Amino acid sequence: MYDQYNRKIDYLRISLTDRCNLHCRYCQPEVSEHVPHNEILRYEELLRICRAALQLGIRKFKITGGEPLLRKGCSDFIAGLKQMEGVEQVTLTTNGTLLAQQLPALIAAGVDSINVSLDTLDAAYYTELTGGSLDSVLKSLQELQSAGIPFKLNCVPLAENGFADIMALLQLADKYNAPLRFIELMPLDCNADLKGLSGSEIRSQLEQAGLQLQPDAQRYGNGPASYWRISGYAMPVGFIEPLHNKFCAVCNRVRLTSVGMLKPCLYCNCNEGMNLKRLLRDGASDAELLQAMQEIIYAKPAGHSFDVKAARFNMSQIGG
């Protein structure tokens, strides 16, 4: 369907859980109180919402968290979603630490591609930044390559990382011929002490290192990344810049949080979303569910508010 600004909305990001086994300093730097299990949408509720989404023209689904692989039955849910008529693509975003052991089940479920978050190849710094182990992520990348599953690497570049980290990630992405995307740090209350790097800053550093960059107009996925080709590297490099290259005018997505809030925008001043869980558990009919989703999607705001003030939530609360 189309929203009030005539943007075609065909992409739903679904958060399966608010829980994560990492505590990245820019996302959820401290252990926080988790939502009780009975407040999380049940899989049958999620599938019912997805059926309604399909009626509204949404064809592409991204499974996120927290860390989605922490939730038991993730691959079974993906299999159920893939079996629905009209679904074009189901993809997964993960931190990669649990991926190697669950990959066979995900492949059997029919997952189309996987995004792996990886901000550094320095093992000590990875542990400092996330609280986890880099080895488990690197093993997952090897398993993905062996299985032939398409994947991308997502990096949130921080000024403290240093340019060496960017080059190391470029070389790793080139090794696997996997697109690498640099995602601009979103200003949250929990990361006010961190400085992110913009796309222009990274491109400038690459050019100063003697690399030649050319814009690449081809799309590599459903997201808002602008892609570039870098001399000497086979894969494209993407930049997702919600602040310095605001892409709200072409946004095609809405988000469903693990507790059932359908959010037309990651962060805006105008609304908090629609509580679909309340509708479902109060006995709403399919027609009532469809109407509620249609209304909130149509009312999607013109743009986010990250450039106005920092958000007072961490990313695990609304899905990465």
Q: Residues 194-209: pLDDT tens digits?
A: 888 999 999 999 999 9
Whether the per-residue pLDDT at 63 is higher than 70: the answer is: yes
Whether the per-residue pLDDT at 248 is higher than 80: the answer is: no
Say if residues 256 and 49 touch (Cβ distance below 8 Å). yes
Per-residue model confidence as pLDDT tens digits over 264-304: 987 655 556 899 999 999 999 999 999 999 999 999 987 66
More confident residue, 192 or 166: 166
Residues 6+ apart with CB under 8 A from 66: 15, 16, 17, 18, 19, 20, 258, 316, 319, 320
Average pLDDT over residues 170-176: 96
Q: Is the peptide bond before 303 cis (omega within 30 degrees of 0)?
A: no
What is the C-alpha separation between 184 and 236, in angstroms, rounded? 17
Instruction: Output the pTM of the full model.
Output: 0.91
| Host H or E run for residue 278 | helix 276-281
Q: Strand order of the sheet with strand 253-256?
A: 213-216, 226-230, 237-240, 180-183, 151-155, 113-117, 89-94, 60-64, 11-15, 253-256, 261-263, 274-275
Per-residue model confidence as pLDDT tens digits over 92-123: 999 999 999 999 999 999 999 999 999 999 99
- What pLDDT, on a 0 to 100 scale, did the predictor assign at position 318? 53
Say if residues 294 and 55 touch (Cβ distance below 8 Å). no
Residues 6+ apart with CB under 8 A from 319: 13, 14, 15, 64, 65, 66, 255, 256, 257, 258
What is the C-alpha separation between 219 and 252, in angstroms, rounded? 14
What is the C-alpha separation between 243 and 246, in angstroms, rounded? 5
More confident residue, 211 or 218: 211
Per-residue model confidence as pLDDT tens digits over 134-160: 999 999 999 999 999 999 999 999 998
Whether the per-residue pLDDT at 309 is higher than 60: the answer is: no
Q: Which two tokens stand for residue 228?
A: 């570039």
